Amino acid sequence: MENIWTKKYPKSVPTSINMNEYKNILEIADEAIRKFRNRPAFSNFGIDMTFHELDILAGHFASYLQNDLGLKKGDRIAIQLPNLLQYPIVLFGAFRAGLIVVNTNPLYTAPEMKYQFNDAGVKAIVILAQFAHLLEKIKSETSIEHVIVTQVGDQLPFVKKHLINFVLKKVKKMVPAYTLKHDTWEEALTKGSQKTYVQPNMTLEDTAFLQYTGGTTGVSKGAILSHRNIIANCQQIRAWMKPKLVEGQEIAITPLPLYHIFSLTVCSLALMTYGTQNVLITNPRDFASFIKDMKKYKFTILTGVNTLFNALANHPKISEVDFSKTKVCVAGAMALQKAVKENWFAKTGTNVIEGYGLTETSPVACCNPIDGTDQVGTIGLPLPDTELKFVDDSGKEVALGEPGEICIRGPQVMKGYHNQPAETSKVLKDGWLFTGDIGVMNEDGFAKIVDRKKDMILVSGFNVYPNEIEDVISRHPKILEVAAIGVSDEHSGEVVKVVIVKKDESLTEKEVIDFARLSLTNYKIPKHVEFRKELPKTNVGKILRRALREAPSVA
């Protein structure tokens, strides 16, 4: 397919990036530190950490890793932390020591931790105290030699640190007991401050992350992301943001966890090139506290997912937040519903643009322009130096405007899956990543996700895509959230079922079906409606259709 999309690029966005500008991720960080030395780099619990302070602390941590733990270039370190100031210190400290970072979801169970640590060959881990008891259960069955335990308040000033840690441990009883042999956060930084580190030579081809997918297609797989992959995506994102962002003037609210690839690359790395102040939200599910943080800052950037924008827009105190300085709101990780986009604009006066990517693409592959030329209902245009094609089940490219599996080629595409050559060969073919997502491209080059292959519902031989059903039904004023799945049917093979969280308790099954009938053809109309108090979600808020398909109905 001809690269028709570049014709729709905003004038200031280049069609290509310079891959020879940096040799490794640290050069991006070092450049930002030089340029924005005294600006806040990360903020959390009302405390700012400047780029200069980040540099010093990351250096101390790198020294500790090298001198006290004896870790070498290429060794794996797991980071199992929520959004705290400790996270970027560990991240950049690990890079300064030449280590490969393995991000681990803090909400993992002990068996999930064990699988990931063994698969990645993790030698050291930085873990939040709340989860240390789980590590204790499985550590002897892993390759982990060194454990650093940190508490929520550890990087905060003395009084605030001890108050927060005391309340969480003694008052709220949120830290289960453990006897795990470990170093504390303070011990690690103190030891590291007494020696210097030697930064090893790192190239573009070196592995930066073993970034594990969420396991929505079976066993979780570690995507091998090189320094080249990450740098390319950072430069692509930086180029895409040129129409509105200005160096040294941006403040980003970052509610998505930094251990997730979207937040990791976009917020902690790409936005760093603009000298952005990242305001880390530790617990975005605490919406009252989240909105308090939003009120404190004249933020210019907000990143999130559809469910987060939906919840915020429906919060009674969202009207108290000042959006006058907000330049761009970006939604990723799942489809942005039209009703959510419209409601968000009505409540805040700001536009949410949708992007698209995968762990395997570092992650951003497409994004809507931020200059006001976005197209509603699409994932936007392929980023600079990124190509898309759409193929049928035989691998043959389909005509423009026809749905097919999205395939991506570009410098941000992973090397492969760690220790899984068979799985790698299924998705990487002749330089193209086969995503498993069904999409379509219009004549302007804007792409649209139809749905995941595995989520498609087959009704009497007709393909029904859950995204379309959800987008229509979510527009009902009495509905807060909706998920569509297929359930077995003796007559048509499968039929559509919707699972709904009500915004208004008076909502009935008949109202839902009557509303669907106004916009959907007969075979797409839900035959079953189930109401729940909440929908199962991933750690970043993506609705888990698989869990709904596998779980019994809940009254």
pLDDT band of 539, cuts 50, 70, 90: confident
What's the pLDDT score for residue 329?
97
SS3 252: strand
Sign of dihedral through CA atoms 448, 453, 456, 461? positive
Give the pair of three-digit tokens for residue 111.
């068996």
d(CA 544, CA 255): 20
Q: Is the pLDDT of residue 386 over 80?
A: yes
Q: Residues 23-60: pLDDT tens digits?
A: 999 999 999 999 999 999 999 999 999 999 999 999 99
**How crowded is the C-beta side of 380, counted as CA atoms within 13 Å?**
29
pLDDT band of 218, cuts 50, 70, 90: low
Q: Is the pLDDT of residue 555 over 50?
A: no
What's the pLDDT score for residue 215?
43
Q: Is the pLDDT of residue 214 over 60?
A: no
Considering 154, 186, 202, which residue would you say is the last residue of a domain?
202
Residue 297 lies in a domain: no
What's the pLDDT score for residue 540?
80
d(CA 91, CA 109): 23
In 36-109, which residue ranges form alpha helices assigned H by DSSP? 51-63, 86-96
SS3 205: coil
Higher pLDDT, 111 or 341: 341
To the nearest whole percent, how much of the chain has pLDDT over 70? Answer: 97
Residue 339 lies in a domain: no
In 265-381, which residue ranges form alpha helices assigned H by DSSP? 287-296, 306-313, 338-348
**Quick one: which of 357, 234, 349 has its CA closest to 302?**
349
Give the residue-averaged pLDDT of 203-230: 86
What's the pLDDT score for residue 3?
87
Q: Which residues contact 286 (CB under 8 A, 6 or more apart)?
A: none
Mean of the per-residue pLDDT values for the chain? 93
d(CA 24, CA 465): 41
Give the residue-averaged pLDDT of 444-449: 94
Angle, alpha carbons 302-305-308 (nearest 5°): 80
SS3 411: coil
Residue 71 lies in a domain: yes
Displacement of CA 434 from its chain's centroid (Å):
20
Q: Is the pLDDT of residue 111 over 90?
A: no
Neighbours of 174 (CB within 10 A): 12
Residue 440 lies in a domain: no
Q: Is the pLDDT of residue 170 over 80?
A: yes
Give the residue-averaged pLDDT of 210-229: 81
Say which DSSP state 156 is in: S
Residue 27 backbone class (left: φ over 0; alpha: ψ -120 to 50; beta: rest): alpha
- Percentages of the chain per state (helix, strand, coil), in multiples of 5: 35, 25, 40
CATH number assigned to the domain comprising residue 512: 3.30.300.30
Q: Which residues contact 488 (CB under 8 A, 6 or more apart)?
A: 494
First to last CA, the chain: 48
Considering 202, 236, 262, which residue would you say is the last residue of a domain?
202
What residue numbers bound the domain in which 143 lies?
49-202
What's the pLDDT score for residue 499?
96
d(CA 332, CA 62): 32
CATH number assigned to the domain comprising residue 96: 3.40.50.980
Residue 509 lies in a domain: yes
What's the pLDDT score for residue 1?
56
What's the pLDDT score for residue 307?
83
Cα R_g (the chain), whole angstroms: 23
Considering 143, 171, 202, which residue would you say is the last residue of a domain?
202
Q: What does DSSP say about strands 207-212 and 222-226: parallel, antiparallel, or unpaired?
A: antiparallel
**How crowded is the C-beta side of 169, counted as CA atoms within 13 Å?**
17
Count helices and strands (H / E) in the chain: 16, 27
Q: Residues 396-429: pLDDT tens digits?
A: 999 999 999 999 999 999 999 999 999 999 999 9
Residue 546 lies in a domain: yes
Give the residue-averaged pLDDT of 287-311: 94
Cβ proximity of 236 and 383 under 8 Å: yes
Q: What does DSSP say about strands 387-391 and 183-184: parallel, antiparallel, or unpaired?
A: unpaired
Based on the structure, what is the number of domains in the chain? 2
Give the residue-averaged pLDDT of 124-139: 97
Residue 271 lies in a domain: no
Residue 162 lies in a domain: yes
pLDDT band of 449, cuts 50, 70, 90: confident
Q: Residues 451-500: pLDDT tens digits?
A: 677 787 888 767 787 888 998 999 999 999 999 999 988 777 889 999 99
Cβ proximity of 144 and 124 under 8 Å: yes
pLDDT band of 217, cuts 50, 70, 90: very low
